[in-house]
């Protein structure tokens, strides 16, 4: 217990020699030191988790997290130990405001990795959704890259097939007209194979020949175009296969997922706010204790000790100045004036 008390007093930055003269202040500074210590522990834990998501190594994350925690511990210790109780409360708050801002900034840095850990179960499904969105976007971009070429080839094939179809319709119409002329159901309405029939039959035969030529020509072109279409389709499929489903698991991705969740859910948003407020309270607690507490015996002793140091310093400077002036009294008037002017400027 004594060792723990001594450690917390060290963490508070208190002068133990002065504190022995006012033991009633011990509990207050033990509490301040414990708050500073646990803030450092939280900082180390938060930094360790955040760095583990980056390096995926317990050793690296643990070492760097420990260094970060010690830095926050030392910074908080310095902030609290450098604060002094004054008789003017407004002046105290003004003097402490930069330290409060710094403490809030530190608490925000500490809180964010722990928020990621607390909402880890909600973040994981959101990361999967984000991964799927990225994959779908890449797939659409790949398809859009090949789409103009595929559409152009397919349109050419359709045009060639349409051309054959129209020619077939023309051939069929001419053949039907010749047949109707032959059986008397159309044309001259006479059943015979006379000159009119022969003309219509010649037109139908000509259309058949043109159809065969067109079919042969277009079939070759269609075959070539279909080969190109299959090649482009193979390239598209190969590009889609090569798309990687990279798992987004870094700190930036988790922060983005948490941001999306807070935008979607008011419950998570409020929980996020309360966690941040909790760490702000924890981080600023030592400073607030110093500000709201009355000036105690330790503060008075510290003020006396600092004043005594100022007095000794002033006395030493005055004595050294007087001795220097005494030693230079034998110099000329100009030299004495120069020395006195420089010394007076130093102590003014």
One DSSP character per residue, 14-78 reads --HHHHTT-GGGHHHHHHHHHHHHHHHHHHHHHHHHHHHHHH--HHHHHHHHHHHHHHHHHHHHH
Listed range (164-178, 248-262, 283-297) with the worst mean pLDDT: 283-297
Percent of the chain at pLDDT > 90 equals: 1
Query: Which of 244, 168, 246 is CA-nearest to residue 207?
Result: 168
pLDDT for position 343 = 67
Is the distance from CB of 221 to CB of 160 less than 8 angstroms?
yes
Is the distance from CB of 175 to CB of 211 less than 8 angstroms?
no
184 alpha-carbon distance from chain centroid: 86
Listed range (58-67, 79-88, 213-222) with the worst mean pLDDT: 79-88
pLDDT for position 197 = 64
Counting every residue, how long is the chain?
348
DSSP string, 142-195: HHHHHHHHHHHHHHHHHHHHHHHHHHHHHHHHHHHHHHHHHHTSSTTS----SH
pLDDT for position 87 = 67
Rg (CA), the chain: 46
Our CA angle for 336, 342, 348, nearest 5°, is: 125
Backbone angles phi, psi at 342, to 5 degrees: -65, -45
pLDDT for position 67 = 92
Our CA angle for 80, 288, 87, nearest 5°, is: 80
H or E element, residue 136: helix 120-183
DSSP string, 92-129: HHHHHHHHHHHHHHHHHHHHHHHHHHHTHHHHHHHHHH
Higher pLDDT, 348 or 265: 265
pTM passes above 0.75:
no
- Find tokens 């948490």 and name the residue: 258
pLDDT for position 126 = 84
pLDDT digits (tens, 9 = 90+) for 119-152: 888 888 888 888 888 778 887 888 888 888 888 8
């Amino acid at each position: 217990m004594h060792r723990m008390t001594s450690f917390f007093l060290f963490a508070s930055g208190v002068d133990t020699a002065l504190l022995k003269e006012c033991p009633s202040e011990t509990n207050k500074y033990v509490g301040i030191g414990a708050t500073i210590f646990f803030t450092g522990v939280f900082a180390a834990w938060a930094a360790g988790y955040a760095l583990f998501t980056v390096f995926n190594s317990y050793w690296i994350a643990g070492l760097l997290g420990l260094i970060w925690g010690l830095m926050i511990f030392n910074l908080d210790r310095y902030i609290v130990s450098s604060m002094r109780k004054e008789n003017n409360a407004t002046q105290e708050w003004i003097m402490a405001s930069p330290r409060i801002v710094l403490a809030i900034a530190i608490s925000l840095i500490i809180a964010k990795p722990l928020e990621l850990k607390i909402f880890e179960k909600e973040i994981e499904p959101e990361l999967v959704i984000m991964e799927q969105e990225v994959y779908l976007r890449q797939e659409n971009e790949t398809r859009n890259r090949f789409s103009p070429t595929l559409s152009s080839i397919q349109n050419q094939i359709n045009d060639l097939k349409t051309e054959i179809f129209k020619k077939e319709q023309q051939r069929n119409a001419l053949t039907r007209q010749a047949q109707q002329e032959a059986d008397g159901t159309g044309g001259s309405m006479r059943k015979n194979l006379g000159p009119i029939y022969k003309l219509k039959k010649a037109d139908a035969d000509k259309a058949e020949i043109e159809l065969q030529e067109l079919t042969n020509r277009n079939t070759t072109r269609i075959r070539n175009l279909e080969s190109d279409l299959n090649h482009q389709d193979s390239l598209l499929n190969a590009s889609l296969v090569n798309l990687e489903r990279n798992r987004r698991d870094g700190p930036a991705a988790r922060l983005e997922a948490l941001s999306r969740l807070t935008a979607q859910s008011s419950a998570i948003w409020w929980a996020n706010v309360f966690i941040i407020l909790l760490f702000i309270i924890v981080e600023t607690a030592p400073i607030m204790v110093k500000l709201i507490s009355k000036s105690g015996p330790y503060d008075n002793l510290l003020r006396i000790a600092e004043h005594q140091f100022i007095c000794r310093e002033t006395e030493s400077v005055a004595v050294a100045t007087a001795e220097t002036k005494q030693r230079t009294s034998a110099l000329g008037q100009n030299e004495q004036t120069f020395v006195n002017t420089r010394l007076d400027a130093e102590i003014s």
